[in-house]
Every structure is written in C-alpha cells, then in structure tokens.
Amino acid sequence: MDNKKVGLSDTTKAKTEPKTFRRNPIIGTKFTIAISSAKGGVGKSTVASNLALALKKMGLNVGLLDADIYGPSLPKLFSINEKPESDGQNLKPILKYGIQCMSIGFLTEEQTPMIWRGPMVISAIKTFTQKVLWKNLDFLIVDMPPGTGDTQLTFAQEINMDGVIIISTPQEIALQDVKRGIRMFDKLKVKILGLIDNMSHFIGDDGKKYAIFGEGGVKKDC
C-alpha cells in the first residue's frame, strides 16, 4: 500500500490565513478619532460630546458619529428629534450646535430596541462611515459602544482611524475591562492617543476633594 501523507490542500490553507482588510478613509474629514473603552457607563458619550463641542469652540469643523447601535446616546445628549434627509443613496448629517451629527437613534423610535445580529451592525457602521455626507470636517469624533465586539473590530480593521482615546474610571473592575480594550486596539495597530481618568473625584460642599472610586489606577496603567 502507498504511504500517502494527509494534509490540508493549498486552497483550505489559504482560507485559514488571517484575513487582510483594506482600511477605507471616511470621506469628508481630515482626522477621525474614536472615544472608546471596553467598560460600559464610564463616560464615553459624555467625553465624545464635550470634546466635539470644545473643538467646535476652537473654530474647527467637527462631526460626531454615535457608533453605539444598541444604545445610541446622541439623540438625547444633543436633543435631536428629527430624521436625517436622504436621497436614497446617502444620508445628510443633522447640524446641531454647529456640529454635524449622525446616530442610528435618528432613524428609529426612542423606545425601539435594536434586535440585530452582528452582520447588521457591521452594515450600519459601514453606512455611517461611507454613506454619510460629512462635509469639510477637521475632526470626526466617534462615540464607540462598550465592549470589544463587531463595531470596534470593523472600525479597527476596515476604517482609517487616526487614533483612539480610552476612557476609564478609577475602579479596579473598570480598569480590568479597559485594559482588554487597549490590548485589542494595540493588536490591531490602532494608535492609542491617551487615557482619560473620568469620574476621578468630586468636590464636596465643604470644598474638599473626594476620590470616591479610588486614585491613581489609570495613571499607573498608562
């Protein structure tokens, strides 16, 4: 009997190789910066909105993309109740406080849950980055959802991003998740621009500073 060696065919081997993606630029913006954190509720949407407003105040043209498909915040944060105009192909961002805004929340009713599987989310992200008529922006700020899932992966692999700002709060349990998020972007070679230590303290009526969630963890992890 012939001694034949068993192995994978070249075609199957090629299929098991890691996929290489082309990173598409977002048309209409010079820079794209994401605000992210694998942890939920640490202030991503708050920072994204304030950063967009601060850049606008500096005289720059700014866009704000709410990439949180399951839990959009922008309609509430910017009090936007209108629907964006569309020509059937593209969507026009809604201008509020001088900022070009887009969110899945502009297209759905407030109470409607998004019961979508991953591919639908990826498709929505591609629409928001390729089919929105962002105009003459210096910065597009992207408010990411919590986690290290389809949205983060799509942005990191298929969209040209200039960097990510990571938000954390000082608790150990938050930092543990945040570190996972940092590692993900690091692995996918997306530049981490910095970490923000949010909710680090509050100042009481007595004028004293209270670090209710602990101190120094974020700085140590930098």
**Residues lying near Mg ion in the complex (CB under 5 A):** 44-45, 73
Comparing CB distances to ligand ATP, the nearer of 61 and 67 is: 67
Comparing CB distances to ligand ATP, the nearer of 95 and 212 is: 212
Q: Which of residues 65-124 bind ligand ATP (CB under 6 A)?
A: 68, 71, 73
Q: How many residues bind ligand ATP (CB under 6 A)?
A: 14
CB of residue 99 vs Mg ion: minimum separation in angstroms?
Answer: 16
In terms of C-beta density within 10 A (0-12 exposed, 13-18 middle, 19 or more buried), how is residue 170 classed?
buried
Which region among 24-32, 36-44, 186-194, 205-213 touches ligand ATP (by CB under 6 A)?
36-44
Which region among 16-24, 40-48, 104-112, 153-161 touches ligand ATP (by CB under 6 A)?
40-48
Q: Residue 101: which of 62, 158, 70, 56 has the closest Cα?
A: 62
User: Tokens at residue 115, please?
Assistant: 């019961």
Q: Residue 100: helix, strand or coil by DSSP?
A: strand
146 binds ligand ATP (CB under 6 A): yes
CB of 192 closer than 8 Å to CB of 166: yes
Residue 147 partner contact from ligand ATP, Mg ion, none using kind-dependent CB cut-offs of 5 to 8 Å: none
CB of residue 129 vs Mg ion: minimum separation in angstroms?
Answer: 18
199 binds ligand ATP (CB under 6 A): yes
CB of residue 19 vs ligand ATP: minimum separation in angstroms?
Answer: 28
Distance CA 50, CA 40 (A): 18
Residue written as token pair 């040209």? 160
Radius of gyration, CA atoms only, the chain:
20
Residues 6+ apart with CB under 8 A from 202: 209, 210, 212
CB of residue 154 vs ligand ATP: minimum separation in angstroms?
Answer: 17
CB of residue 202 vs ligand ATP: minimum separation in angstroms?
Answer: 7
- The CB-nearest residue to Mg ion is 45
Residue written as token pair 């201008």? 95
Q: Residue 162: helix, strand or coil by DSSP?
A: coil
Distance CA 141, CA 162 (A): 11
Contacting residues toward ligand ATP, per CB under 6 A: 40-46, 68, 71, 73, 145-146, 198-199
